[in-house]
Structure formats: C-alpha cells, structure tokens
Amino acid sequence: MAVSIAACGGGPGKSADQGGQAAVPVEVASARHQSVTANYSGTATLEAVGDAQVVAKTSGIVLKILVEEGQRVEKGQLLAQLDDEAARNKLAQAEATLKKAQAAFDKAEKGFELKITPRTQYDSDKYDLETQKAVAAGARLDLSYTRVVAPIAGVVAKRSIKIGNLVQVNQSLFQVVDLDPLEAVLNVPERDLDTLKPGQPVQMKVDALGGRSFTGTIARIAPVVEAASGTFRATCQFRDDSRQLKPGMFGRIEVAYDQRHDALVVPRTALVEEDGEAAVFVIEAAPPKSAPAKPEAKAGKPGEAVAAEAPKPGFVAKRRIVKTGYAEGDRVEIRDGLAEGERVITIGRNAVRDGTEVQVLEHADAPATAATATAPGKAA
C-alpha cells in the first residue's frame, strides 16, 4: 500500500508549487532618480537661405563661361559673357544722338537768355535732351546685361548653358545657393507652441553623413497656427564650417526645451498604456501561504545532520496606475504612483496580470529581497 501511494504522488512530501500554477519568469528594473531632458523630435529637409536663379536679361550668344558647378562666387562676380556687339552699336548711336541734342539745347539756352529763342523752342530742345539721356542710359543698361553676374554670394549649384548657345530673355543660366546658414523648417503641433522659443539650441542628425550630429538654433517661430494641419512653423538654422551639409539633405531634429535634474525614471519598456491610462507592474512579496505538510526526513549517513529544503521566496506582480512626465530615449519620468527603489517589470509584462505570481530572473536589475537558505555543513 505504501508503494502504491508513493507512485501516485499523493504522499505527505508533496510541495505546494507542484500543485499550483508555475510562476512567470520576468526581468525587472528599479525606479531611480536621474536627470531627464524634455525633447521635441521632428524631421525636416535642409534648405538654402539664399537661392537665386540667374536668368538672362537680354538675348545673345554665349561667348564665355567663367565658373563651374561647385565653385564659390561673390556677389557681382562675372559668371558668363554674352555677345555684346549689337548692344555696343546701339549705345554708340544713342550717345551720338545725345550729343546732337545737347548741342541743340545749349544753343537754345543761350538764345533764350538773350531773348532771341522763343520759350517754346527752348522747352522743346530741353525735353529732347532729357529723352536722349534716357535712351543712352537704357543702351548702357542693355550692354551691362551682356555680362552675367552673380546676384548673391554663394556656390554655383547648376549651370544650364554652354558656349555658343543662343539665350533668350528670362532664360535660366545658373543657380547660385548660399550654404551659410542652412535652414530646416519643423511643422510643430500647436500644443507645443509655448515650449519652443527663438534662440533655443537644437541638434540635428543627418543620415546621409552617417548619423553625424550638427548644432543649430531656432531662428524664428511663425506667429500663426495653420488651421488645416494644426501646426506652426519653427525655422531652425545651422552653420557648418566643414561644408558637409547640403540643401536637400534629410535631418532628424531634437529640441531640448526643459530639464529636470532629480526625476524618478523607469525604463520605457515597463510602461503599459491602456484606455488613456499609464500603468506599471510592481514586484511585491507574495502573501504567506498555509504551511505544507512536513516532509519526511531523508535518511543520511551516520554522523550527518539532515535539514529540510527551505522554500524559495515568492513574488507577485501588482498593476499600479502612474502619472508620467517627460520621456527621453528609453526612459520615462514617473510623476506620481511610484517610489524610489520599487521594482517594475520590464520584460515579461505582457504575460502577467494583477496578482500573477512571478519569478525574478537572476540577472534582473535588483536582487531578491530574501536569501535562499543553504544546507548546513557536516557535524563536527
């Protein structure tokens, strides 16, 4: 009969864990006071502050091209030369006509002073002179248009002509961009209107440059919120002496607008958000259970003391509502509902519910609150 009972597992030596549900293995982390920074993150494309399309103001054949793409130019620097022969001929004709009008007016002016020339003749010659001055000035301007110059200082981004091409009025010839500074426009939700201010420092990481970070500032904030999108424009400026930043590059921008030096933080993986509430699972000691039947003492060798195996400490997961604050990286601030040193589940929280018995893994963040008993040594 004794053999039959032992085979069925119903003997008095059965442990409490063998009849219950197995504990869920979890990893935990302790709530600690650390410095946390509030950041706004967004993405934007870099744009040149100065971007000028150089167009032809007169028609003509391209005789010379003095710059190439990628070359830096100064404002007023000569970029290309058009055929100016026709413009020079018109200027010479206008200047000759101007001299003739000037002589006629001088003669009329002397005669008017001597009361020989009538008033009407004097006025007519005067107006003819003013007209010819304007014609000559226009001819000089047309001649200057044959010299294509840079309207701004910057870098030649594009050349659209070749030597020998016939260009027409308003035809695009070059594109000149100013790379210092570059701007990036963030479309920020209106709820952050009071958090971003002009002059705040920003950090931008550019994927095209291996994630390199660049420092800039918020140059200006748009005074209005766009009704369609519910966002406002925050323009950031970046200066890069290395000239690695280029217009059109994609950047990930972070703006640090506040910092708390003694905030209670937990890993972001510990946070559970459901139905508009934030919660964590806190590790607590399991309530005491009724004492199990005393196991039979195992026979030992003569002269040895034999002790029963001590039960391992038990823990349960308790769901607790918390109030969150700032989030930075993989950390989140807890404003209310948690105390320093309390341990929260970071891995395995999806497998537990309120009151679930858990097993804290040995490589977890904090050691267990109770130690496991060790067997005594041999008796002397």
User: How far apart, in whole angstroms, are the C-alpha atoms of residue 236 and residue 188?
Assistant: 12
Tell me the residue ranges of DSSP E strands in the chain.
24-30, 32-55, 60-65, 72-73, 78-82, 147-149, 154-159, 166-167, 172-189, 201-206, 212-221, 231-238, 250-267, 272-274, 277-285, 315-328, 331-336, 343-347, 357-360
Q: What percent of the chain has pLDDT over 90?
A: 60
Identity of the amino acid at 309: E
Give backbone dihedrals phi and psi of 175, rounded to 5 degrees, phi first.
Answer: -125, 125
Name residue, tokens 């708390």. Answer: 260
- Counting Cα atoms < 13 Å in the Cβ hemisphere of 160 gives 15
Distance CA 235, CA 45 (A): 11
The identity of residue 212, as a single letter, is: R
Burial 131-146 (b: 16+ CB within 10 A, else e): ebeebbeebeebbebb
Q: Is 221 exposed, middle or buried (0-12, 13-18, 19+ CB in 10 A)?
A: middle
Find all residues with CB under 8 Å of 121, minimum gap 6, and list them.
108, 111, 112
Instruction: Work out the pLDDT band at 221, boundaries 50, 70, 90.
Output: very high
Residue appearing with tokens 């101007």: 98
Q: Of the spans 18-32, 74-88, 263-277, which averages the highest pLDDT? A: 74-88
Q: What's 139-185 look like in SS3?
A: HHHHHHCCEEECCCCEEEEEECCCCCCEECCCCEEEEEEEEEEEEEE
- The half-sphere exposure of 376 on its side-chain side, counting CA atoms within 13 A, is 8
Residue 181 preceded by cis peptide, ω within 30: yes
Question: pLDDT of 165-204, one tens digit each?
Answer: 999 999 999 999 998 899 999 999 998 888 899 999 999 9
For 226, what's the count of Cα atoms within 13 Å in the CB-facing half-sphere?
12
Per-residue pLDDT band for 321 (boundaries 50, 70, 90) equals very high
From the CB of residue 58, how many other CB atoms can be counted at a distance below 10 Å?
Answer: 19
Q: What is the pTM of this model?
A: 0.59
> pLDDT category, 329, cuts 50, 70, 90?
confident
For the chain, where are the alpha helices, taking DSSP H only? 2-7, 16-19, 85-113, 119-144
| Token digits of residue 242 | 């290395």
First to last CA, the chain: 39
Confidence of residue 28 (pLDDT cuts 50, 70, 90): very high
Alpha-carbon distance 322 to 348, whole Å?
A: 19
Quick one: pLDDT band at residue 40, thresholds 50, 70, 90? confident
pLDDT band at 5 (very low <50, low <70, confident <90, very high): very low
Contacts of 178 (CB under 8 A, 6+ apart): 48, 49, 50, 51, 152, 153, 154, 155
Q: Please, which pLDDT band fits residue 22 given cuts at 50, 70 and 90?
A: confident
**Residue given tokens 């659209």 in the structure block:** 160
